[in-house]
Amino acid sequence: ELKLSTPKDYDGKREELRGFLLQVRLYLKANQEIYNSDDKKILFVLSHLKGGTAGPWAETYVYAHIQDGDIIFEMFNEFIAEFQEAFEEVNTAGEALNKLRTMKQAGKTANEFISEFKI
């Protein structure tokens, strides 16, 4: 296993979802020989869903996938789609527009302001 930082635990804050998923994807890619099945990838993500609304979501997800005493997961891409549906920001376009309206340079250099704008 490569000695990369593991993703920080995710608690369900919608504004942190994209960053969390990016860190997960990078980590899984770097360690693809270890996380070489959909089950292992899903277990990795579930192990980082703690607290807030993410912890109970993970628990509900696991219980919903128990069949005859065994946990049967779906495909990783299907899991991620379900996870994103549960936690992504409801109105990302509206949120971005609102952020643009309230953005101010406020003592930042032009480069700092432009970098923030691009985000």
User: How does pLDDT run across 67-100, given as a tens digit for each residue?
Assistant: 988 999 999 999 999 999 999 987 666 666 767 6
What pLDDT, on the 0 to 100 scale, is given for residue 95? 64
Q: In angstroms, rounded to a whole number, what is the distance separating the alpha carbons of residues 15 and 98?
A: 14
Three-state DSSP at 91 gives: coil
Q: In the chain, where are the structural domains located?
A: 1-88, 92-119
The model's pTM = 0.74
Which segments of 12-91 does DSSP mark as H helices, in order?
Answer: 17-30, 38-46, 54-64, 76-87
Q: What value does the mean pLDDT take over residues 37-56?
A: 97
